[in-house]
Amino acid sequence: MFYDCTTLYFESFTEDELCSFGYSKDHKFNQGQALLALTVTQEGLPVGYEVFPSNMYEGDTFKSAIEKILDSREYEKMKYEDEMLRISTFAYTKEKRLIVSHSNKRAEKDRRDRGKSSQSAL
């Protein structure tokens, strides 16, 4: 997966709860903007997007975007060995689909591995 954010500006000089003045990659600080976050597959197929106020730090958007993709209400539960997995399918065409799964055991292992990795970098 690839995740990226960009600011979109509007030909407007008024602000509201979404469209606000803030950092702009296009140097449009004095125009209303919103922050667009997009998640795509390696092939460039969109998995999800979210729009944030432009004054939100991009680094704070990632958790929200991942949680939206991993929203358990849209996932089926499947027993695999001794664990319940959450699985969802996103269809792109009749021939292509993306299968996303979440395993609490794998998530915990990945968290421990990241901790080891960050400590060895010190």
CB contact at 8 A, 54 and 48: no
pLDDT > 70 in the chain, percent? 74
Of residues 54 and 104, more confidently modeled = 104
Q: How many residues are there in the chain?
A: 122
The model's pLDDT over 83-107, given as tens digits with 9 standing for 90+, comes to 988 888 777 667 877 777 888 898 8
The predicted model scores a pTM of 0.52
Quickly state the pLDDT bin for 24 (edges 50, 70, 90): low
pLDDT > 90 in the chain, percent? 2
CB contact at 8 A, 12 and 29: no
CB contact at 8 A, 19 and 12: yes
CB contact at 8 A, 47 and 1: yes
Q: Report d(CA 47, CA 100) in Å as an integer.
A: 10
Which is nearest to 39 in space by CA: 60, 57, 65? Answer: 65
